[in-house]
Homo-oligomer: A and B are copies of this chain.
Amino acid sequence: MRSDSAAKIRNLDLFAGMHDDAFDTLVHGSFLQRFPQGVTLVRESDPADFLYVVVDGLVEMYAGTGARETTLDIVAPVGVFILAAVLNDEICLQSARTLEPSNILMIPAARIRQAMQSDAAFARATVIELAASYRRTIKDLKDQKLRTGAERLANWLLRTETEQGGQGSVEIRVEKRILASRLGMTPENLSRAFSALKAYGVKVRGSRISILDPASLTGFAKPNTLIDTPEKKTALRSN
């Protein structure tokens, strides 16, 4: 593993408090591997044999039933996924595929569970990260149950604008059909939602969205602290 990658991972909240030897044990059994775009890393109902860390790239978490399919999360560096399944030695509830060429660290599940036993700091960090991921999912559920598609989009735009530095515009980093799925709607419906937001000063040019009248958009979106405020810890996704 290259040392900058190692440093990245070491600094993850999840691993930062670990003893050096426990961390070394974890990393020794692991693989850092490069995957091209569009590779399925995990399939739902697979046993969780590895904990995955997105070191570089972008990974989509998704799930389906027969015909329908939905995107549950998009994991950016440095993020973790299928932590919950690993900890409880259960099958995965979500599939994962790369949206870009990605560097992925794969840590054997058994080593993670072992580190939980042997390293108290790791156990505590895991609790904190797990709780944060859990709270993010509850927020997603509230977003889904309490808002219309256009409202979800409007609030996503406001959150993402802040996250991207508050420049009054948002760059969509994934295909719009994936954003649509993440927001719980069809691509057609996302297009229409963007059209509807024109009235509140939202202008679309390809993947670049301009927010010309933030006050107006906020008035429509009615953002809610208990849905739209990011959790303190951000470097984790799991299932």
Chain A residues at the B interface, C-beta cutoff of 8 Å: 44-45, 63-66, 68-70, 72, 83-85, 87-88, 90-91, 93-94, 116-117, 120, 123-124, 126-128, 130-135, 137-142, 144-147, 184, 222, 224-227, 231-233, 238-239
Contact = CB atoms under 8 A, between A and B. Distances in A.
State the majority secondary structure of interface residues on A: helix
Given A63-B226, A93-B226, A123-B120, A133 B135 contact: no
Contact of A93 (B44, B91, B133, B142): B142
Q: Give the oligomeric copy count.
A: 2
A134 B123 contact: no
B146 A65 contact: yes
Given A72-B138, A84-B135, A138-B72, A227 B145 contact: no
A109 to B, nearest CB: 12
A187 to B, nearest CB: 15
